[in-house]
Amino acid sequence: MEFFERFAIPHPSPLIYASMVGIGLTVIAIVIGLTYFKKWGYLWREWLTTVDHKRIGLMYIISAILMLFRGGVDGIMMRLQTAVPDNTFLDAQHYNEVFTTHGIVMIIFMAMAFIIGMMNFVVPLQIGARDVAFPRLNAISFWLYFAGAMLFNISFVIGGSPDAGWTNYFPLAGTDFSQSVGVNYYMWALQISGLGTLMTGINFIVTILKMRAPGMTLMKMPMFTWSALITNVIIVFAFPVLTIALLMGTFDRQFGTHFFASTNGGMDMLWANLFWVWGHPEVYILILPAFGVYSEVIATFSSRNLYGYKSMVGSMVLISFMSFLVWVHHFFTMGHGPLVNGIFSVTTMAIAVPTGIKIFNWLLTMWKGKIRFTVPMLYSIGFIPLFTIGGVTGVMLAIASADYQYHNTMFLVAHFHNVIIPGVVFAMLAGLTYWWPKMFGFMLNERIGKWGFWFLSIGFCLAFFPMYITGLDGQARRMFTYSAETGFGPLNMVSFIGAALMAIAFILIVYNVYYSFRYAPRNVGQDPWDARSLEWATHNPVPEYNFAVTPEVNSSQAFWDSKKNNHQLFKEKRSKIHMPNNSGVPVIMAGFFFVFGFSFVFSIWIGVIIAALGIFACMAYRTFENDHGRYISLKEIEETEKKYGGAK
């Protein structure tokens, strides 16, 4: 029995026990369902072992939406707790756990998964490739992400959640102040999924540099692909810092080193420093693909070429470098002299310039365009003013001396939600709606989609604008409650109402999927939006091999050219197509990683050793495996093409 005591939750509550039961029942229901409908084989063959970039992309996106739900519940709980003064819905410890997991789930497991999923689905199509450069590695990336996400999500029912904030500052996160295994979960969940992200970075850089369709020079790539390239470059340079910081943190917590201790030669500020050396580039990793989506959507629905392609690319390249020059703005108040703060204040304000350039690019793209107010376009148009507010408050925060007033208040919370929600979440919803027909062959309902947009936007404004005010009035972030005398009560209630509207928006969006799945017409054709870039030159939903014939390209909007300017996309004759084989190794290996992480969290060394052996066995297997892929025969291609209506 003693062995099991370590899995107990240090600070339980009826809510957590209820979740435990809920999780147990859901797992049982899934297992029974799969068995009853005999879907295990289907699941294994078509999804768990797939190396197809489109399916991996979908799995990322589905996971991201699940994580959006989980993080959203955390968010609602926090707003409910603070809706009225002196509330007792959550106590201080639970509130700590909830804001910590909310932050990590949303950034690492929701936003990152969403953008990587979108890149997975779209980038190979946009460059006319059949898959990514290393399809097997891509599957490993996904399953490592998934293992990390699951590890993180079981923390609150087994052993206790991390509670030191998503920034996890030491010494608070050290064993002196965080005794439960919570922070170990943080370390290992991020470590495992971070490895996956790093592999994605390498995979996509190679894919984009080496696998573009003939004629597609770098300066003829669609803008989303450009944003993906830059994002992955940032990933490759930023994530190793996180990897090492997490490893040092693990050593501090589990092996008694003192990297981040305030004594014995350690330096607690080093964690904050390393965290933000990764963390600031991370926010640009999140926002650049969003910019890419907006560029595609705005060009399509303004029926115009993207204004200022070169300045767009240039500003992104500049951002990729500058995003590594500003990290200290996250801890202006932690004891540096005016020289340091001055330098980083200036670099931070400077990075707002290339960001601002893009706003003008989009506005000028719409200028005199024939605008169609579809759901993706609504999100894009809503994004522009809202994101600008977020950017402007960012520049306010960048003024180091003023930041002493704003730092660690709700003003800061309002700022980053103001950039992340209209930036990343709106973009992903826009992209999802826009590419939905490519994924599934039918459209999402526009009317329900518009309701969703309005609920989300109005909810967002109500939820976060009041925080600017209470923040300036001195409401600190991460406080589980406040007294009535502070006067924060009414605005926090508004904020809660906003959060509730956003929850309704989420329900509407999910309901839209169900509704459209049942009622939407299926024969939407190849080009339902009258779009411009290459991914629309193949069928909906996309066949396994993407393009029956590799397209040839001579501009960044090859498909538009083929529609309007008589550009001939497909010149070659059809022939058999070489594709990679599926493999079960990635998911099995990620399973071992999960066991490895879980055992490590609880210092169960025997489990760690066995899982490590399993991981190495998977690698060894891959090394000696002889896999030359397979061919899709010409006959099969002809049949598939005929099914789609045979054009071209």
Partner 1 sequence: MMKELFPIKQVMGFVFSLVLTAVALAVYFLDMSFQLGMTILLVTAFIQAALQLVFFMHAGESNDKNAIYTNVYYAIAIALVTVFGTLLTLIWGYM
Binding footprint of ligand HEM on the chain (CB under 6 A)? 167, 283, 286-287, 329-330, 348, 352, 355, 391, 394-395, 397-398, 403, 406-407, 412, 415-416, 419-420, 423-424
User: Cβ of residue 312: shortest distance to ligand HEM, in angstroms?
Assistant: 16
Residue 135 neighbours by CB distance under 10 Å: 24
Of 231, 321, 332, the residue nearest 273 (C-alpha): 332
Of 326 and 502, which CB lies nearer to Cu ion in the complex structure? 326
Of 76 and 400, which CB lies nearer to Cu ion in the complex structure? 400
C-beta nearest to Cu ion: residue: 280
User: Cβ of residue 202: shortest distance to partner 1, in angstroms?
Assistant: 11
Q: Answer whether 410's CB lies under 8 Å from 470's CB.
A: yes
Phi first, then psi: give them for residue 409, nearest 5 degrees: -110, 175
User: Cβ of residue 319: shortest distance to partner 1, in angstroms?
Assistant: 13
Give residues with Cβ within 8 angstroms of 611, minimum separation 6.
Answer: 592, 593, 595, 596, 599
User: Cβ of residue 320: shortest distance to partner 1, in angstroms?
Assistant: 9
Using CB under 8 A as the binding rule, whether residue 337 contacts partner 1 is answered as: yes
Using CB under 8 A as the binding rule, whether residue 263 contacts partner 1 is answered as: no
Of 479 and 513, which CB lies nearer to ligand HEM in the complex structure? 479
DSSP 409: B
Residue 401 neighbours by CB distance under 10 Å: 11
Q: Which stretch binds partner 1 (CB under 8 A): 284-292, 340-348, 353-361, 407-415?
A: 340-348
Q: Which two tokens stand for residue 54?
A: 């489109």
DSSP 630: E
- Cα dist from 161 to 8, 93, 386, whole Å: 11, 10, 33
User: Cβ of residue 103: shortest distance to partner 1, in angstroms?
Assistant: 23
Q: CA 247, CA 271: separation in Å to the nearest integer?
A: 11
Answer with the entry of Cu ion, ligand HEM, partner 1, none that 269 interacts with (C-beta below 5 to 8 A by kind). Answer: partner 1
Q: Which two tokens stand for residue 127?
A: 């460059």
User: Cβ of residue 409: shortest distance to ligand HEM, in angstroms?
Assistant: 8
Of 237 and 251, which CB lies nearer to partner 1 in the complex structure? 237
Phi first, then psi: give them for residue 476, nearest 5 degrees: -75, 155
Q: Which two tokens stand for residue 262?
A: 């305030």
Give residues with Cβ within 8 angstroms of 643, minimum separation 6.
Answer: none
Of 278 and 596, which CB lies nearer to Cu ion in the complex structure? 278
Which residues are registered as beta bridge partners of 631? 578
Using CB under 8 A as the binding rule, whether residue 364 contacts partner 1 is answered as: no
Answer with the entry of partner 1, ligand HEM, Cu ion, none that 348 interacts with (C-beta below 5 to 8 A by kind). Answer: ligand HEM
User: Cβ of residue 325: shortest distance to Cu ion, in angstroms?
Assistant: 11
Strands (E), 458-589: 577-579
User: Cβ of residue 402: shortest distance to partner 1, in angstroms?
Assistant: 19
Give residues with Cβ within 8 angstroms of 381, minimum separation 6.
Answer: 366, 373
Answer with the entry of Cu ion, ligand HEM, partner 1, none that 270 interacts with (C-beta below 5 to 8 A by kind). Answer: partner 1
Q: Answer whether 75's CB lies under 8 Å from 95's CB.
A: no
User: Cβ of residue 330: shortest distance to Cu ion, in angstroms?
Assistant: 5
Binders of partner 1 among residues 296 to 325 (CB under 8 A) are 321, 324-325
| Cis check: omega of the bond before 12, within 30 degrees of 0 | no
**From the list 19, 175, 273, 311, which residue makes contact with partner 1 (rule: CB under 8 A)?**
273
Q: Answer whether 505's CB lies under 8 Å from 435's CB.
A: no
- Cα dist from 6 to 11, 61, 182, whole Å: 13, 34, 12
Q: CA 104, CA 79: separation in Å to the nearest integer?
A: 17
Of 556, 634, 620, the residue nearest 225 (C-alpha): 556
**From the list 343, 350, 472, 476, which residue makes contact with partner 1 (rule: CB under 8 A)?**
343
**From the list 69, 169, 237, 465, which residue makes contact with partner 1 (rule: CB under 8 A)?**
237
Phi first, then psi: give them for residue 14, nearest 5 degrees: -55, -35
**Alpha helices in 473-538, H assignment, sequence order:** 489-519
Of 280 and 415, which CB lies nearer to Cu ion in the complex structure? 280
Q: What residue has token string 């201790």? A: 261
Of 277 and 386, which CB lies nearer to partner 1 in the complex structure? 277
Answer with the entry of ligand HEM, Cu ion, partner 1, none that 237 interacts with (C-beta below 5 to 8 A by kind). Answer: partner 1
Binding mask 197-236 for partner 1 (x = CB under 8 A): ------------x-----------------------x---
Give residues with Cβ within 8 angstroms of 150, minimum separation 6.
Answer: 594
Q: Which stretch binds partner 1 (CB under 8 A): 26-34, 173-181, 335-343, 638-646?
A: 335-343
Answer with the entry of ligand HEM, Cu ion, partner 1, none that 339 interacts with (C-beta below 5 to 8 A by kind). Answer: partner 1
End-to-end CA distance of the chain: 68
Answer with the entry of Cu ion, partner 1, ligand HEM, none that 451 interacts with (C-beta below 5 to 8 A by kind). Answer: none
**From the list 53, 280, 407, 567, which residue makes contact with Cu ion (rule: CB under 5 A)?**
280
How many degrees, rounded to 5, is the angle at CA 160 between CA 155 and CA 165? 85
Q: Which two tokens stand for residue 30?
A: 């899934």
Answer with the entry of ligand HEM, Cu ion, partner 1, none that 352 interacts with (C-beta below 5 to 8 A by kind). Answer: ligand HEM
Of 90 and 412, which CB lies nearer to ligand HEM in the complex structure? 412
Residues making contact with partner 1 (CB under 8 A): 209, 233, 237, 241, 267, 269-270, 273, 277, 321, 324-325, 327-328, 335-337, 339-340, 343-344
Interacting residues toward Cu ion by CB under 5 A: 280
